[in-house]
Structure 1
């Protein structure tokens, strides 16, 4: 990896992170749409809902330090988190398989990943993650959960047979409703998983023992 590649990736992240600062306006519009019904992913089709820079950097460091090669992401959105994951995959000669329900977000993410110079390290799958990852058959080194919160546990269980000793699972937004079933599951299986709360409770980092 040369300086040009690093600069290209960081420049793209800077642009996207700055644009994501306007999310409070976009989120407000989404909440208005869901005022008289449950929230739906489509309500936030124009919203980044990104990880923070700190979270992205922590995940990148975890992947590199643990030499993770097969990386799976639930919830691409516009690709900010995917770029952090793919930058790490570039360093470990790995690959990111990421999935996004909304086609407009997946298309935008694909463009952003290309701008970051990381297309060779990412496989973007469009559609319901329970379908796009249903036949995933490779051992998973790192799993990032950041999609619809009610699906954390079902998706986790779907991919659980692909975990191995030292598989890392990073679950974001653990302070939001809908994640309690996932939290209960991993915390109650202390003989299988080591789980700790990080980023002041915003995320869980779990390791398969």
Structure 2
């Protein structure tokens, strides 16, 4: 326990940055993923093409390279300066959005076509068909795979350690400089991630039970 209590100046900051990267990156991924997922099933060919190019390009790029672009390439574009944590959120959110979009697309395909056609028959535009009829049903069917995407996002926050962001993945290096046992530090980091993943699994079960009753 001394590894924790003797370094209370570091653990809260590392955990806090990990949670910021996870929640902010997850929110960005969810919003962007919904938009891209809708584009992937849009009746407009240009929208489908843009969604397809975005998913195939970003998803097939290693996350480390996405971080490299935002940390080292973004400042060269002359855009407003952002701190390292914000750049990490952008990298994680934009990368994870591709997986969210594909999971949602799979969920959208499980909704009977007749329901969308009936909604269009009563005069609803594409946007309302998606938000009022298709997406609510799609979300119910993709809770497990969607939660797997967010669990992967939580683990991917450790990539930020290589880009001067103080989060849980970077704790071992800081602790080693202070003379702490690296193995003990890594075990504590692993324990924290296991606890966070268990919370996400509990949230998944709760949502599944709630929406199963709603059906």
More helix by share: 2
Higher relative contact order (CA 8 A, sep 6+): 2
**Bigger-Rg structure (1/2):** 2
TM over 0.5: no
Structure in which a larger fraction of residues adopt strand: 1
